[in-house]
Structure 1
Amino acid sequence: MDLEFYFKPVDLPKIKLAPWAQKKFSLLSVVEKNHAKLSIEKAEVVIIGIGEDRNSIEKGSADAPDKVREHLYSLNRIDPRFKLLDLGNLVLGQTANDSYFALKDVCEELIQNGKVVIVIGGSQDLTIGLAKAFEDKTFSLVNIDPKFDYQKGSKSITSENYLNLIFEKHPNLFSQTTLGYQNYFTDSLELDHAGGLLSETVRLGLLRYNMIDIEPYLRQANLLSFDLNAVRQIEAPGQYFASPNGLYAEEACQLARYAGLSNSMKIAGFFNLIPNLDPQEIGAKLMAQIIWHFLEGMHSRIDETPPGNEDNFNHFLVELEDIDLPITFYQSRKTGRWWMQITDEQGSFEEIIPCTQEDYELTARNEIPDRWWRNIRKLNRLVK
């Protein structure tokens, strides 16, 4: 595939850095150098912009990609040898659906060649195109969002109900989790329906109570869809939701870093910044910093996949009274992270999923953790 056909390149020399930025230490210096010398085959991370918002309930996010770049490329370069490329902005199709398929083609090609893709939108319904890139493989999706973007019975696709199409068209979707939702924005019937679809939701208060327990959701994910509306409006102007409640800026950056640290994460999309609602560009600056934390997390990745080398993991085999098979837990001796092994009801298919130390401690007390039940149900559905 000739990727250049799909993109309008960014004019990097015309990007105006912040007055405080030193260009030689900026991310722009790395991107400019790589643009001149690094082939796409040797790149590790690829940034693409897509100014598509025709299916958004509020227009204006089409202008976000270049505005975010201005602030992102003023930030620290992380590593002067960072193999990061910016392919530019995806040329839009005649319809929003055409843009979804173009995004799918590009992302599918890139992840098949081992690249991690960062998508700067545009509206969040572009998650449809990102999910299409996983059509031939099982995948897990995490949404960071103030509400559950699903509307039962809705026929047209918008930035508020794109999950309808993803649930309908992707039987290979292993898990979908919405992090940071706020209960007063989501009807209980929709949440009940989400449970029937084996979707999970984590309320903002629970997320804030113990952030470290959220990390396994992101470690398991292959696709991240980040809605800027999940951040409270005072810290992220430039959004149409404009709620006084939401994630703090630091929490948004921490979640992005967790996502970047995940070896499973292939595509991360950042959506719903509306520059014309952001006169002081605080929202654009925050989105840039969120993306920077994803990049910094990715640069800090540690390749550890249990069971792997026995010297790298502690193994714990826990027998329970209520299930026939013992549960195997793995703990990394390097990072302290935990995983558990699950098996479908036929005993023919195994999956190792991220978990927490609390999951292990519950099991050791002869209590089956919720994470085990939820993932067993998903696994049994998938293998049928």
Structure 2
Amino acid sequence: MIFEFLQPISDDLLIDIHKNSNQSLAKKVVFHTEHETPNLENNTIAILGVLENRGNELVSIEPNLELLRLQFYALYPGNWNVTIYDLGDIIAGNTLEDTYFALRTVCAALIKKNILPIVVGGSQDLTYAIYRSYDKLDQMVNLVNIDSKFDFENGQNTLISNSYLSKIIVEEPNNLFNYSNIGYQTYFNSQEEIDLIEKLYFEAYRLGEVSQNITIAEPVFRDADLVSVDMSSVKSSDSGSNNPFMPNGLDGKEICTLARYSGISDKVSSFGIFNHNFSEKETLLLAQIIWYFIEGYHYRSKEYPIGSRENFIKYIVPIEDDDLVFYKSDVSERWWIEIPHNSLNNKLKKNTLLPCSQEDYLMATRQEIPNRWWKAQRKNCV
């Protein structure tokens, strides 16, 4: 059914793609073509484009992913054993809502089959459609946004791509459990928006924090379901994009590291990249971001959910009138902290484990309550 919404890869583009080396990604991917529809298997990855920019009226360039495909499939794969499909593109519908419906339908079908969609957009409001694809999966959703802005804006002249998060928070059914922003720049966000992040017990990490110690972002991705990347979060000297010109932002190495953290997370089930300008320079960076995400996916350790916890060391830290319970993996040496089920209104209805860092454990031993634990505890009781 989903192929009704997808425009296959053209024969002319396939000819150019297959001119690459037999060792390149071009020979490792199953394509949806004008003559062949792939038989999708579970536990795989599917790349799809969405040729829709109407959510950002400042972008006048028509979306075209041919250059991205040429550059991505010229790269060489790692030692990967995952099957990768290129399903082609969702073309813009008669209305923006039509495009949302198509993307929501396709992503829902893929996620239900444990096929991870890598969505390459147009405008970032398409994140909303991916979020809505979780509606029928009976789960709360953790959204992580790599962005210089929170996209909470409201007002008569506000672009949809700058306000879609408000739509996610307000609209029913409300399946959003947590929102985290990686790399925001304070001067792009009003104090009202920053205060709202705190009021809702969401998480936000400033660009300076991430650049100084990028590993603080890893636990955040480990608990994410949907990761959305705004390419304008990358500074222009690294992305090659001058529309808009960004003097500050993540560099190329940092955005690829964050993409790898996203891929290596056992919980992430969808990944989207938006707001790029389809130039040759930025497209090459975009291809490498996708490459690093798939590289991370290959190294997933299957530690979420933890299950029996046989391969974990349990640490109990007495603090104030409570005990904080930590678990450390013998395999990956990653850390988790337990969030107790202590409220009748608890959204999760059970004790749950929140990814954390070793620094969070060390803070607890100094009788300091980790900020991630405190916010999760407060959210659990709301």
TM-score by length of 2: 0.91
Instruction: Find the aligned partners of 1:71 and 1:294 in 2 and give their Cα distance.
Output: 16
Q: For each residue in 1:55-74, what CA deviation from the matched residue of structure 2 results, as whole angstroms up to 9, or x when unmatched?
A: 21322464243332221111
Instruction: Find the aligned partners of 2:309 and 2:196 in 1 and give their Cα distance.
Output: 42
Structure 1 residue 253, shift from structure 2 partner:
0.2
Residues 62 and 220 of structure 1, relative CA distance in 2, 3 Å threshold: farther
Structure 1 residue 243, shift from structure 2 partner:
1.0
Q: For each residue in 1:331-368, what CA deviation from the matched residue of structure 2 results, as whole angstroms up to 9, or x when unmatched?
A: 11111111111024328532211000111111122221
- State the one-letter code of the partner of 2:342: E
Instruction: Find the aligned partners of 2:248 and 2:196 in 1 and give their Cα distance.
Output: 25
Indicate the residue corresponding to 1:244 in structure 2. Answer: 247
User: Contact 1:152/1:190 (CA < 8 Å) preserved in 2?
Assistant: no
- State the one-letter code of the partner of 2:221: L
Structure 1 residues 258-267 or 303-312, which shifts more? 303-312
Instruction: Find the aligned partners of 2:291 and 2:365 in 1 and give their Cα distance.
Output: 39
Instruction: Find the aligned partners of 2:277 and 2:74 in 1 and give their Cα distance.
Output: 20
- The answer to whether the aligner puts 1:339 opposite 2:342 as a matched pair is no
Structure 1 residues 210-219 or 150-159, which shifts more? 150-159
Residues 229 and 64 of structure 1, relative CA distance in 2, 3 Å threshold: farther
5+ long unaligned stretches in structure 2: none
- Percent identity over the alignment is 35
Indicate the residue corresponding to 1:172 in structure 2. Answer: 175
Indicate the residue corresponding to 1:6 in structure 2. Answer: 5
Instruction: Find the aligned partners of 1:210 and 1:260 in 2 and give their Cα distance.
Output: 19
Residues 148 and 42 of structure 1, relative CA distance in 2, 3 Å threshold: closer
Indicate the residue corresponding to 1:99 in structure 2. Answer: 99
Structure 1 residues 40-49 or 78-87, which shifts more? 78-87
Which of residues 317, 323, 327 in structure 1 aligns to 2:324?
327
Paired residue total: 373
- State the one-letter code of the partner of 2:106: V
Structure 1 residue 304, shift from structure 2 partner:
1.2
Instruction: Find the aligned partners of 1:61 and 1:271 in 2 and give their Cα distance.
Output: 13
Indicate the residue corresponding to 2:355 in structure 1. Answer: 354
Indicate the residue corresponding to 2:281 in structure 1. Answer: 282
Indicate the residue corresponding to 2:315 in structure 1. Answer: 316
- State the one-letter code of the partner of 2:275: N
Instruction: Find the aligned partners of 1:239 and 1:8 in 2 and give their Cα distance.
Output: 30
Structure 1 residue 257, shift from structure 2 partner:
0.2
Indicate the residue corresponding to 2:49 in structure 1. Answer: 49
Indicate the residue corresponding to 1:72 in structure 2. Answer: 72
Structure 1 residue 148, shift from structure 2 partner:
1.5
Instruction: Find the aligned partners of 1:17 and 1:336 in 2 and give their Cα distance.
Output: 44
Indicate the residue corresponding to 2:293 in structure 1. Answer: 294
User: Contact 1:62/1:121 (CA < 8 Å) preserved in 2?
Assistant: no
Indicate the residue corresponding to 1:263 in structure 2. Answer: 266
Instruction: Find the aligned partners of 1:311 and 1:335 in 2 and give their Cα distance.
Output: 13
Structure 1 residue 161, shift from structure 2 partner:
1.3
Indicate the residue corresponding to 2:369 in structure 1. Answer: 368
TM-score by length of 1: 0.90
Structure 1 residues 229-238 or 53-62, which shifts more? 53-62
Structure 1 residue 87, shift from structure 2 partner:
0.8
Structure 1 residue 238, shift from structure 2 partner:
3.4
5 Å-filtered alignment, 1:151-190, equals 151-153=153-155, 158-169=160-171, 171-190=174-193
- State the one-letter code of the partner of 1:339: W
Structure 1 residue 152, shift from structure 2 partner:
3.9
Structure 1 residue 194, shift from structure 2 partner:
2.3
Instruction: Name the SS for the 2:65 alignment partner.
Output: helix
Indicate the residue corresponding to 2:380 in structure 1. Answer: 379
Indicate the residue corresponding to 1:204 in structure 2. Answer: 207
Structure 1 residue 259, shift from structure 2 partner:
0.1
5 Å-filtered alignment, 1:142-153, equals 142-153=144-155
Instruction: Find the aligned partners of 2:317 and 2:112 in 1 and give their Cα distance.
Output: 37
Instruction: Name the SS for the 2:359 alignment partner.
Output: helix
Aligned-pair RMSD on alpha carbons?
2.3
Structure 1 residue 327, shift from structure 2 partner:
2.1
Residues 360 and 64 of structure 1, relative CA distance in 2, 3 Å threshold: farther
Indicate the residue corresponding to 2:108 in structure 1. Answer: 108
Residues 239 and 97 of structure 1, relative CA distance in 2, 3 Å threshold: farther
- State the one-letter code of the partner of 1:369: P
- State the one-letter code of the partner of 1:220: D
